[in-house]
C-alpha cells in the first residue's frame, strides 16, 4: 500500500480547517503579543496539530490495511468455495454423464448417483460486498446465477435418482431385462410407459445440459474472480484454480 498524505478528501479538508484555525489564532494574537511569543505559540499549535494528525493518519492506515486483509481472506474463501463446487460438478460429469452424452439410451443407461455427496455450499455475500465499492458489482450477479444453477442441478439429480431407483429399475426387472443385455429402446419405452419414458428423457437431458453449462460457467467465473482480486489486491496471494487434466 502506497503512503498518501491525504488518502481522502475528508482528511484533506480536515487538515486545511485545522491549519486555518491555527493561522487565525496567530493572526488574532498579533496586536497583543510580540513576535517571539507569537512564534512560540504558533510552533506549539502546529506541533500539537501535526502530532494529532499523523497519529490519526497512522491509525487510519492501520485500519485500512486490516480491512484489506479481511477482504482478501473473504475473497479467497469465495474462490475456494467456487473451486470446490467446480470439482464436484466436473467430477459428477466425468463419472456419470460424459460417456453417455448424445447417446439415445442415456435416459436409462446413466446410473443413479448413489453415494455421491450433496455439498452444502453457500457464498457469504456480506463478506465480499466490498466488490460493490470497487466497481465490480456485476460479478456478484454472476455468482448468484451460478448458485441458482447449482441448486437446480442438485434438485434435478435427486429427482432423476428417485425415478430411476423407484420406478425405472423395478419396471425393467419385472419385465425380465437384465443389466447389460441387448434391449431395444422401443421395448424399454413400452415397459416404462409414455409418461415415465418422456419424464426420464426430459430430466436426463436437463441434467446433462445443467452439468455442462455449470462446469463451463464455473471455470470462467473462477478465472474472472481471480483476475478481479489480483487487480484489487496487487502483489497479494490470491487463490487460483490449477486444472490437473481437462
Cα–Cα dist 3/6, whole Å: 9
Q: What is the pLDDT of residue 2?
A: 46
Q: Is the pTM of this model over 0.85?
A: no
Q: What is the pLDDT of residue 153?
A: 95
Q: Is residue 4 part of a domain?
A: no
Burial class (CB in 10 A: 0-12, 13-18, 19+), 61: middle
Split into its structural domains, the chain has a count of 1
Q: pLDDT-based confidence at 39, cuts 50/70/90?
A: low
Helix (H, G, I), strand (E, B) or coil at 124: coil
Per-residue DSSP letter, 8: S
Q: Is residue 59 part of a domain?
A: yes
Q: What is the pLDDT of residue 242?
A: 83
Q: In the predicted model, what is the mean pLDDT of residues 96-121?
A: 86
Q: Grid coordinates representing 80?
A: 475456494
Cα–Cα dist 155/153, whole Å: 5
Q: Is residue 239 part of a domain?
A: no
Q: Which residues of 121-141 are buried (b: 16+ CB within 10 A; e: fewer)?
A: eebeeeebebbeeeebeebee
Cα–Cα dist 215/85, whole Å: 9
Contacts of 41 (CB under 8 A, 6+ apart): 25, 26, 29, 33
Q: Is residue 181 part of a domain?
A: yes
Question: pLDDT digits over 193-246, tens only?
Answer: 999 999 999 999 999 999 999 999 999 999 999 999 999 999 999 999 987 665
Q: Residue 121 in contact with residue 189, Cβ under 8 Å?
A: no
Burial class (CB in 10 A: 0-12, 13-18, 19+), 35: exposed
* Most confident by average pLDDT, 1-15, 111-125, 154-168: 154-168
Q: pLDDT-based confidence at 31, cuts 50/70/90?
A: low
Q: Is residue 1 part of a domain?
A: no
Range of the domain at 149: 9-232
Q: Is residue 240 part of a domain?
A: no
Burial class (CB in 10 A: 0-12, 13-18, 19+), 75: buried
Burial class (CB in 10 A: 0-12, 13-18, 19+), 118: exposed
Q: What is the pLDDT of residue 3?
A: 45
Q: Is residue 99 part of a domain?
A: yes
Q: Is residue 238 part of a domain?
A: no
Pick the range with the lowest mean pLDDT from 76-90, 107-121, 212-226, 229-243: 107-121
Amino acid at each position: 500500500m502506497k503512503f498518501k498524505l491525504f488518502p481522502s478528501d475528508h482528511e484533506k479538508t480536515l487538515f486545511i480547517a485545522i491549519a486555518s484555525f491555527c493561522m487565525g489564532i496567530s493572526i488574532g494574537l498579533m496586536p497583543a503579543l510580540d513576535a517571539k511569543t507569537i512564534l512560540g505559540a504558533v510552533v506549539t499549535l502546529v506541533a500539537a496539530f501535526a502530532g494529532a494528525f499523523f497519529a490519526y493518519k497512522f491509525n487510519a492506515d492501520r485500519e485500512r490495511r486490516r480491512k484489506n486483509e479481511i477482504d482478501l481472506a473473504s475473497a479467497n474463501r469465495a474462490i475456494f468455495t467456487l473451486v470446490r463446487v467446480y470439482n464436484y460438478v466436473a467430477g459428477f460429469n466425468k463419472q456419470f454423464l460424459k460417456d453417455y452424452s448424445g447417446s439415445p439410451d442415456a435416459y436409462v443407461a446413466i446410473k443413479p448417483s448413489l453415494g455421491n455427496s450433496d455439498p452444502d455450499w453457500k457464498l457469504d455475500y456480506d463478506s465480499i460486498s466490498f466488490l460493490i465499492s470497487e466497481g465490480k458489482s456485476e460479478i456478484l450477479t454472476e455468482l448468484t446465477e451460478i448458485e441458482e444453477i447449482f441448486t437446480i442441478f442438485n434438485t434435478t439429480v435427486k429427482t432423476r435418482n428417485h425415478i430411476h431407483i423407484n420406478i425405472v429399475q423395478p419396471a425393467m426387472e419385472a419385465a425380465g431385462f437384465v443389466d447389460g443385455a441387448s434391449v431395444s429402446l422401443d421395448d424399454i419405452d413400452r415397459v416404462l410407459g409414455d409418461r415415465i419414458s418422456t419424464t426420464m428423457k426430459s430430466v436426463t437431458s436437463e441434467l446433462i445440459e445443467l452439468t455442462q453449462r455449470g462446469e463451463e460457467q464455473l471455470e470462467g467465473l473462477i478465472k474472472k474472480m481471480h483476475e478481479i482480486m489480483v487487480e484489487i489486491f496487487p502483489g497479494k496471494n490470491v487463490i487460483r484454480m490449477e486444472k490437473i487434466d481437462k
